Chain A
Amino acid sequence: MVHGTPRNRSGIAAAGRLILRRLGSALLTLLLVSLVVFTISALLPGDAAEETLGQSATPEAVAALRHQMGLDQPAHLRYVRWLGGMIKGDPGQSLVANMPVGQVIAGRLPNSLTLAGLTAAVAIPLALAIGILSALYRDTGLDRALNLMTLGMVAVPEFLVATIAVLVFSVTLRWLPSITVVREGIGWAEMLRGYAMPVMTLACVTVAQMARMTRAAVIDQLSRPYVEMALLKGLSPSRVVLVHVLPNAVAPIVNAMALSLSYLLGGAVIVETIFNYPGIASLMVNAVTSRDMPLLQACAMIFCTAYLLLMLAADVCAILANPRLRGQ
Chain B
Amino acid sequence: MNRLLVIGNGMTAHRLVEELRSRDRGNRWRITVLGEEQHDAYNRIALTDRLRGVPEAKLTLRALDEDPMLEVRTSTRAAGIDRPAHEVVTAGGERIPYDALVLATGATPARPPLPGAEARGCHVYRTLDDVNAIREAAESGGDRTAVVVGGGLLGLETAEALHRHLRVRTHVVEAARHLMPTQLDGAAAELLATSLNETGIRLNEGKGLLSVETNRSGEATGITLTDETSIRADLVVFTAGTRPRDDLAADADLPRGDRGGYLVNEDCRTPDPAIWAIGDCAAIHGTRTGTAAPGYHMAATVAGHLLNTPEPPPPLSPAEPSTVLKLPGVDVASMGNPHAKPADAIELTYTHPAPTPRYAKLILDPEANTLQAAILLGHPTAYPRLHALIGQELPAPAEQLLT
A and B physically associate: no
